[in-house]
Amino acid sequence: MGVMDGTQQLLEAMDGLVWLTDPQGRFVTCGWRRWARAARADGAESYAEPDTLIGRSMLDFVEGEPVRDAYARFMDALRQGRTETIGFSFRCDSPGARRRFRMAITRVEEDGTLRALLFQSQRLSERARVPLALFDFAAMRARIEDIAAAPIVEMCSLCQRVAFPPGGATREWVEADEYYRRGGPGEVCVSHTVCPHCEHHVVRRARGGEAPEEGVRP
């Protein structure tokens, strides 16, 4: 699929991170200027160039099988025409800031035929806080090579809450700072997932064509 006339200029002008896939979810193009800047800022230099992205499934860049499954279900609902747009808010924190975003995924049609899926991620708010190591994923991966048996902490990719206690039979999903207050270990491996709350209020509603609840987890 070639880029439709005028599409590239439009993507470059849109706010936030914007990218386009074919109906099967394979990367076509994006607003390269903002994309490259964000990739370099996040330490993902290898994803700043078109050759590393075009033709690959966007699911290749989503961490955690439950999270990949959620996005696959979103795209399936759009492909089947159960909804025209799926929009939801989510958290994507950095070590020193709480960051809230909105994702919109929209059908792009031409002459009545689905030609593409448009993804747009916009930052809604950012608030500084005391740095939390749970969100320093690059440093965590570097340290983990020296840890023989680090516990696995599950983190919801939509609300950024973590399951406490790690590996417990009965767990509660809490904010990362609360995790530390309760004595959660610092040397861990983070496993990205979708918590039961977000699965019900965001993923299931969206895949059924319903509007997901906004502001579920502030």
Report the chain (218 residues): mean pLDDT per 10 consecutive residues: 68 93 95 88 77 91 93 94 92 92 95 95 94 80 61 92 88 94 88 93 76 56
Residue 211 contacts by C-beta under 8 Å, 6 or more apart in sequence? Answer: 87, 205
Neighbouring C-alpha atoms within 13 Å toward the C-beta of 54: 11
60 CB neighbour count, 10 Å cutoff: 11
Q: How much is the pLDDT for 218?
A: 44
Q: How much is the pLDDT for 47?
A: 80
pTM of the model: 0.86
Record the tokens describing residue 89, joined without a space: 């808010």
Record the tokens describing residue 64, joined without a space: 């955690």
Record the tokens describing residue 96, joined without a space: 């020193």
**Contact indicator for 27, 35 with CB cutoff of 8 Å:** no
The structure tokens 């499954």 sit at 69
**Contact indicator for 178, 48 with CB cutoff of 8 Å:** no
**Contact indicator for 12, 32 with CB cutoff of 8 Å:** yes
Dmax over CA atoms of the chain, in Å, equals 58
**Hey, which residues does 45 pair with through a beta bridge?**
none
Residue at 129: amino acid letter: R
**Contact indicator for 156, 173 with CB cutoff of 8 Å:** yes
